[in-house]
Amino acid sequence: STEIPSYVTKCPSNGLCSRLPPDCMTCNTNYSCIYGKPATFDCRVKPHVHCVDQNNHEQENFTINMTCQFCWQLATTDYVCTNSTNCMTVSCPRQRYNATCTVRDHIHCLGNRVFPKMLYCNWTGGYKWSTALALSITLGGFGADRFYLGQWREGLGKLFSFGGLGIWTLIDVLLIGVGYVGPADGSLYI
C-alpha cells in the first residue's frame, strides 16, 4: 500500500538531515558514550522522509552529535511540561505535582521523549508583594492588606479591632515583608 505514515507530517522535506526531529529518524545507540560528554550517533531516515547533507545531496545515512544524557536529565528549557491548576503553593514544605513532560522537537537525547516529572507548584493569581507590603504599612490598621490578599475574615478582624490596637498591624508588616503571609488562593506573588 502507498499509505503515508503519520510521522511524515512532522518531517520537513529536503532539509538538513542533522536538523530533522527525532521522530523522522532511527539512530543506533552508542553504548560507548560517556555521560555528559559529546557523542556521535549513526542515524538513518525513516521511509518517506527526504533530507540532504551540507552539500545539498540527498542522503539516507548520517551522523548526529549530541550530549550523552537521558531526556529526563535535560535542562528545563529543552522540554515542555503540563501545568497543574489545583496546586497550593503557599504550604510548607512546598507542594509538588505530577507532570508529563515532552522534549522539544529539535532536541536529541537518550530514552523516552515523554516522561513523568515531579514539579513544584508555581502559579500566581496576580497579587503583587510590593502592593501587599505598601497596604500593610499604610492601611494595615484597617485590614486593607488582608482584604487585598483575599483573606476577608482576617481583614474584618483587623478592621473592627483597629489592627489589634496596632500590634496585629506590626506583626502583619513583618509577615508580609518576609513573604510568610501570601494570597488566600495559595498562589505566589508576582
Does one domain contain both 136 and 116? Answer: no
pLDDT of 90 strictly over 60: no
pLDDT at res. 135: 94
DSSP-based helix, strand, coil % in the chain, nearest 5: 30, 25, 45
Within-domain flag for 111: yes
pLDDT at res. 95: 76
Average pLDDT, the chain: 85
Within-domain flag for 93: yes
Percent share of the chain, pLDDT over 70: 92
Within-domain flag for 3: no
pLDDT at res. 142: 94
Query: What order of strands is seen across the sheet that includes strand 79-81?
Result: 79-81, 96-103, 114-120
Does one domain contain both 115 and 138? Answer: no
pLDDT of 103 strictly over 70: yes
Does one domain contain both 60 and 100? Answer: no
Percent share of the chain, pLDDT over 90: 31
Query: Is residue 153 within 8 Å of residue 58, measured between CB atoms?
Result: no
Residue written as grid cell 539512530: 27
Domain that holds residue 149: 129-178
d(CA 112, CA 175): 44
pLDDT of 157 strictly over 90: yes
Under the banding of pLDDT at 50, 70 and 90, the label for residue 125 is confident
pLDDT at res. 173: 94
Q: Rounded to 10 degrees, what is the CA torsion of 138, 141, 147, 151? A: 130
| Beta carbons within 8 Å of 131's beta carbon, 6+ residues apart | 148
Does one domain contain both 91 and 51? Answer: no
3 state SS for 73-137: HCCHHHEEECCCCCCCCCCCCCCEEEEEEEECCCCCCECCCEEEEEEECCCECCCCHHHHHHHHH
